[in-house]
């Protein structure tokens, strides 16, 4: 019975296996029975039956292979074996898992950011993939937004969209006069919430009929955050009223938690029916005027509808509108864009940076892989005898390959597990990063199933990548040679040289690109902006909803500027419609310069600004010809314009423009020329601009600019006090220095710059570790050779330099092609200033220095080995 017990034990693994054992045992018993009947005695009959049955184990194996069990069994034994091997050198395994895990985790976080921005930009919106933006486009390619009337016309003309919604961002004053604050709202079409399929957290959301009548439906939906912060999440908030721009608006409901609005990167407090525009912003003509643009249109594709059909329908509709309303629509077409390509908001701005960062972090991850590979290679060499034995016992090279790859993939998977933990923590951590700015930046980040899958696959892929070299090398081991010369790889090792080359190439690429980035960042910090930010204080005002028409508004602002300018400590004051280097793009106007008509009959385009006289003095922008604008109270002088030098160069062939006229809807006479300065971003090429006088182009909201004599911040109380004295109903908000404002523009450059500053040294250290490990390993392998050479009279010096030379050959093999690539990138992408000798030569020199040191250190130790000891080691 012993045999059957063994048989059973073998089969106990699964139920079907034990059934197989039962069945075969029965077979043997019945055969024995038959044998007995044929005349054998008991024992003899049983043994005969067993003999007749044959090799039980082999049959079972055949059954298993037939049923596809074999590979599963092999796999699980491979895993167990790999686990045991890794556990034997815990330190090395821990180093690999830790470094790889961090690399994988960081990549997963960035990936989840990019994914959140592109694929799941709107929380709670179920079919975000069906969202397409419809963006009217001018013949110059800019996207001015849609008018409300255009929205109304497009709605029935594009049946491919099951819903078309309109929204635009609008800052509003909340609260009583003089004690109000700024809130960020979106004017939306009535179907906004229903189209997105949102459910209210309390109360109800807006209804389509609430935008059917101009001035109608004084209601608002508040954001979940606003509800929590202001009403403590109380259900009684529904039905309360808000004073918005001096109008009473009733809260009807609360948006779902986490829904921030439909501009990625920005979060809004309120949603108000767009038809409230003329009530909240007196004088607004946006509901009727076809040339007042600013709405974003978002369509949700109907089931079965394609983007291309929607595009055809939109094109046809815009063509109709162009012929129906040539005054406003003659040159307007429309683009149908994926949501993440929105021309407004953060995605375009941030995605590029994130993609670059992802690329860099992947390179760093590959470096970590290369390091892990050199560690695994060292281990593989130490296991040459074991591999030799395996091969001698009949293991096939393929099986050796599988053995090694299983180990490294297991390491990779362990690293992924760590990476997932880090990514979950990191994604939460990123959400807590406070972002500055007049705009409420907010991001949705979390790791979803796809992110998880990518993380795990990335780890496993890393394992494959760094496991391939040692596995391949081991699989090709000559078993005879391995058994005779255990621990010694014969000759120079090409795999090792290639590893060093790859590592150095990656390091150089990352370092040089980081250096280019840092240079261009530094440059933009010290760049000449063309104005003098130091000593300038800004404050925003908004007269909308306060009952000021143009005449009264001008009088008020004239008084404000005069009172401020005469205040002690203030050198000058002015008002402008915009602040340079803002998050927003500036408005562009089309015009002709008289006597300079374009041959194609089209319009010239330039940035526009409206400013009060004295603005250039406050900003420190020198006037190079002509004079400043006429006083605000002057009603006699004709409309004036001041242009910059780039405008003169581009549109007037450099001829003195004074007295020439800029002809748009109104005709402006050019009275002065100012020096170029930066308008939209650092590093921009000079742009033409037309400054109009605030007197001619009054605006309800704008920015007060004050140049102070003393420290910047001292002016803030003065500003608020004087404004309060003039009219307590007008509140100033966003009081900050121009320097702070400029810094904010640098914010999105500073994050990557800081990351590169951290990344650079990290990459250097990684490269040094990698090279050190490879050389130390090579040296350890060649102890005997070194001993022989030393015994034959080689000096320390020749031994050391021999080793270093060999290592540096690998280093240069990687460095030279990488340098060429990086230099080309630096020259083409980094701009003229970035490709400095420091970047092109200093960075490679630094890396080569580090590489030299990392090779010299272990080589020197080898040279100090006593030749006798080295020889005896054999």
Which residues of this protein are in contact with another protein, per CB under 8 A? 19-20, 22-24, 26-27, 29-31, 33, 52-55, 58-59, 62-63, 66-67
**d(C-alpha 306, C-alpha 252), whole Å:** 36
Taking the C-alpha atoms of residue 74 and residue 121, their distance in angstroms, rounded to an integer, is 45
Contact between 842 and 535 under an 8 Å Cβ cutoff? The reply is: no
Nearest to 103 by CA among 414, 407, 361: 361
Residue with tokens 């994604």: 427
Nearer to another protein among residue 19 and residue 549 (C-beta): 19
Name the residue nearer to another protein (CB basis): 63 or 821: 63
Residue 72 C-beta: closest distance to another protein, Å: 15
Q: How far is the CB of 34 from another protein (least distance, A)?
A: 8
Reduce the secondary structure of 419-471 to three states and give it as a string.
HHHHHHHHHHHHHCCCCCCCCCECCCCCCCHHHHHHHHHHHHHHHHHHHHHHH
**Could you tell me what percentage of the chain is helix, strand and coil, using 3-state DSSP and rounding each to the nearest 5?**
55, 15, 30
Q: How far is the CB of 30 from another protein (least distance, A)?
A: 4
DSSP count for the chain of H helices, then E strands:
29, 21
Nearest approach, Cβ of 393 to another protein (angstroms)?
Answer: 25
Q: In the complex, what is the shortest distance from the CB of residue 73 to another protein, in angstroms, rounded to a whole number?
A: 16
Query: Which H or E element spans position 799?
Result: helix 796-829
Beta-carbon contacts of residue 188 (< 8 Å; ≥ 6 apart): 165, 166, 167, 206, 211, 271, 272, 273, 274
| Least Å from the CB of residue 55 to another protein | 7
> Would you say 59 or 71 has its CB closer to another protein?
59
Reading the block at residue 114, the tokens are: 């990019």
Task: Please say which residue, 63 or 716, places its beta carbon nearer to another protein.
Answer: 63
Minimum Å distance from CB 37 to another protein? 12
Least Cβ distance, residue 78 to another protein (angstroms): 24
Measured at the CA of 435, the angle between CA 433 and CA 438, to 5 degrees, comes to 160
- The residue length of the chain stands at 874
* Rounded-to-integer distance, Cα 57 and Cα 334, Å: 75
- C-alpha 497/C-alpha 503 separation (Å) is 10
Residues 665 and 634: their CA atoms lie apart, in Å, by: 21
**CA dihedral of residues 392, 398, 401, 406 (deg, nearest 10):** -110
Least distance (Å) between residue 158 CB and another protein: 54
Strand duo 667-674 + 640-644: pairing:
parallel
Give me 5's structure tokens.
């017990």
Rg of the chain, C-alpha, whole Å: 38
Least Å from the CB of residue 33 to another protein: 6
Nearest distance from C-beta of residue 60 to another protein, angstroms: 8
Smaller CB distance to another protein: residue 13 or 492?
13
Minimum distance of another protein from residue 62's CB (angstroms): 5
Q: Which two tokens stand for residue 153?
A: 């016309």
DSSP code per residue over 126-189: TTGGGEEEEEEE-TTS----B-HHHHHHHHHH-TTEEEEEEEEEEEEEESSTTS-EEEEEEEE-
**Least distance in Å: CB of 120 to another protein?**
44
Q: For residues 654 and 670, give the distance between their C-alpha atoms in angstroms, rounded to a whole number.
A: 14
Taking the complex as a whole, the smallest distance from the CB of residue 415 to another protein amounts, in Å, to 39
- Which token pair is 320? 């109709």
* Cβ pair 773, 371 in contact under 8 A: yes
CA–CA dist 608, 610 (Å, integer): 7
Q: Tokens at residue 125, please?
A: 């919106």
- C-alpha 351/C-alpha 26 separation (Å) is 70
21/865 with CB nearer another protein: 21
Residue 129 CB, nearest approach to another protein (Å): 41
First to last CA, the chain: 53
Closest to another protein by CB, 20 or 86: 20
Q: What is the dihedral of CA 189, 191, 197, 199, to 10 degrees?
A: 80
Measured from the CB atom, the residue of 50 and 362 that comes closer to another protein is 50
Nearer to another protein, 51 or 492 (CB): 51
Closest to another protein by CB, 45 or 850: 45
54 vs 449, beta carbon nearer another protein: 54
Nearer to another protein, 55 or 832 (CB): 55
453: closest CA among 803, 108, 786? 108
29 vs 634, which CB is nearer to another protein? 29
Residues 635 and 628: their CA atoms lie apart, in Å, by: 16
Residue closer to another protein by CB (options 47, 349) is 47
Q: Which is nearer to another protein, 61 or 312 (CB)?
A: 61
Q: Where does residue 217 fall: left (phi above 0), alpha (psi -120 to 50 degrees), or beta otherwise?
A: left
We find the least distance from the C-beta atom of residue 19 to another protein, in angstroms, to be 7
In terms of DSSP H, where are the helices of 711-795? Answer: 715-726, 738-745, 747-781, 783-791
Residue 23 or 600 with smaller CB distance to another protein:
23
Nearer to another protein, 23 or 653 (CB): 23
CB 220 within 8 A of CB 250: yes
Question: What is the closest distance, in whole angstroms, from the C-beta atom of residue 43 to another protein in the complex?
Answer: 18
Distance separating alpha carbons of residues 436 and 438, to the nearest angstrom: 7
Q: How far is the CB of 20 from another protein (least distance, A)?
A: 7
Minimal CA–CA distance to 771: which of 812, 802, 823, 819? 812
30 vs 392, beta carbon nearer another protein: 30
């Amino acid at each position: 019975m012993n045999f059957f017990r063994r048989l059973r034990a073998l089969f106990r693994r699964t139920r079907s296996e034990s059934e197989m054992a039962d069945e075969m045992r029965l077979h043997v018993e019945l055969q024995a029975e038959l044998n007995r009947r044929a005349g054998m005695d008991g024992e003899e009959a049983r043994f005969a039956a067993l003999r007749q049955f044959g090799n039980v184990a082999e049959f079972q194996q055949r059954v298993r292979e037939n049923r596809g069990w074999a590979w599963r069994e092999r796999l699980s034994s491979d895993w167990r074996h790999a686990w045991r091997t890794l556990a034997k050198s815990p330190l090395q395994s821990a180093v690999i898992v830790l470094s790889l895990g961090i690399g994988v985790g960081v990549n997963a976080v960035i990936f989840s950011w990019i994914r959140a921005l592109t694929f799941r930009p709107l929380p709670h919106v179920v079919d975000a993939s069906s969202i397409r933006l419809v963006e009217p486009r001018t013949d110059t390619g800019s996207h001015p937004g849609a008018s409300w009337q255009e929205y109304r016309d497009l709605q029935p003309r594009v049946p491919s969209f099951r819903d078309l919604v309109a929204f635009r961002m609008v800052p509003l004053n909340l609260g009583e006069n003089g004690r109000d604050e700024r809130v960020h709202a979106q004017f939306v079409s009535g179907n906004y919430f229903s189209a997105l399929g949102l459910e209210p957290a309390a109360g109800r959301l807006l209804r389509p009929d609430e935008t059917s009548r101009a001035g109608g439906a004084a209601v608002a939906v508040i954001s979940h955050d606003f509800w929590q912060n202001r009403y403590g999440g109380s259900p009684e908030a529904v039905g309360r009223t808000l004073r918005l721009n001096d109008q009473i608006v009733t809260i009807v409901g609360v948006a779902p938690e986490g829904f921030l609005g439909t501009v990625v990167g920005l979060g809004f407090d309120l949603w108000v029916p767009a038809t409230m525009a003329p009530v909240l912003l007196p004088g607004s003509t946006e509901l009727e005027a076809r040339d007042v643009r600013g709405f974003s249109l978002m369509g949700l594709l109907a089931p079965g509808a394609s983007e291309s059909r929607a595009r055809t329908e939109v094109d046809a509709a815009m063509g109709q509108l162009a012929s129906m309303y040539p005054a406003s629509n003659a040159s307007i077409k429309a683009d149908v864009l994926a949501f993440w390509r929105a021309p407004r908001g953060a995605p375009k701005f941030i995605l590029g940076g994130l993609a670059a960062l992802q690329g860099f972090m992947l390179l760093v991850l590959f470096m970590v892989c290369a390091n892990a590979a050199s560690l695994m290679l060292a281990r593989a060499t130490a296991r040459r005898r074991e591999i030799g034995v395996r091969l001698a016992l009949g293991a096939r090279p393929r099986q050796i390959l599988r053995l090694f790859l299983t180990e490294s993939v297991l390491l990779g998977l362990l690293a992924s597990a760590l990476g997932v933990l880090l990514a979950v923590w990191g994604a939460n951590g990123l959400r807590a990063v406070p972002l500055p700015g007049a705009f409420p930046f907010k991001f949705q980040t979390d790791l979803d199933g796809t992110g998880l899958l990518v993380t795990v696959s990335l780890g496993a892929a890393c394992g494959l990548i760094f496991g391939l070299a040692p596995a391949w090398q081991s699989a090709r081991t000559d078993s005879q040679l391995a058994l005779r010369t255990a621990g010694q790889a014969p000759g120079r090792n090409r795999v090792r040289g290639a590893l060093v080359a790859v590592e150095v190439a990656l390091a150089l690429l990352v370092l040089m690109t980081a250096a280019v980035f840092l240079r261009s960042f530094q440059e933009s910090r010290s760049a000449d902006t063309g104005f003098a930010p130091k000593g300038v204080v800004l404050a925003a005002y908004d007269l909308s909803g306060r009952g000021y028409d143009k005449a009264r508004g001008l009088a008020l602002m004239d008084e404000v500027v005069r009172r401020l300018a005469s205040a002690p400590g203030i050198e000058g004051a002015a008002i402008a419609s915009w602040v340079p280097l803002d998050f927003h793009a500036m408005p562009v106007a089309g015009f002709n310069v008289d006597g300079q008509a374009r041959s194609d009959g089209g319009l010239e385009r330039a940035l526009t600004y409206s400013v009060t006289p004295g603005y250039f003095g406050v900003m420190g922008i020198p006037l190079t010809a002509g004079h400043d604008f006429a006083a605000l109270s002057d009603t006699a002088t004709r409309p004036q314009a001041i242009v910059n030098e780039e405008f003169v160069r581009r549109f007037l062939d450099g001829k003195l423009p004074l007295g020439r006229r800029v002809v748009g809807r109104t005709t402006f006479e050019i009275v002065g020329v100012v020096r170029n300065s930066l308008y939209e971003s650092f590093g921009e090429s000079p742009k033409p601009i037309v400054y109009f006088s605030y007197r001619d182009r009054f605006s309800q909201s704008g920015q007060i600019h004050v140049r102070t004599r003393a420290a910047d911040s001292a002016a803030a109380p003065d500003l608020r006090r004087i404004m309060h004295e003039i009219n307590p109903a007008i509140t100033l908000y966003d009081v900050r220095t121009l320097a702070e404002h400029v810094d904010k523009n640098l914010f999105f450059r500073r994050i990557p710059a800081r990351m590169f500053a951290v990344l650079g040294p990290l990459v250097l250290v990684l490269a040094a570790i990698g090279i050190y490990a490879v050389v130390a390993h090579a040296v350890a392998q060649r102890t005997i050779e070194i001993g022989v050479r030393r015994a034959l009279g080689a000096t320390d010096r020749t031994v050391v330099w021999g080793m270093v030379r060999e290592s540096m050959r690998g280093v240069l093999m990687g460095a030279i092609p990488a340098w060429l690539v990086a230099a080309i990138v630096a020259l083409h992408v980094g701009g003229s200033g970035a490709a400095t000798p420091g970047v092109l030569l200093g960075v490679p020199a630094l890396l080569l220095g580090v590489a030299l040191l990392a090779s010299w250190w272990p080589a020197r130790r080898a040279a100090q080995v006593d030749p006798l000891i080295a020889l005896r080691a054999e």
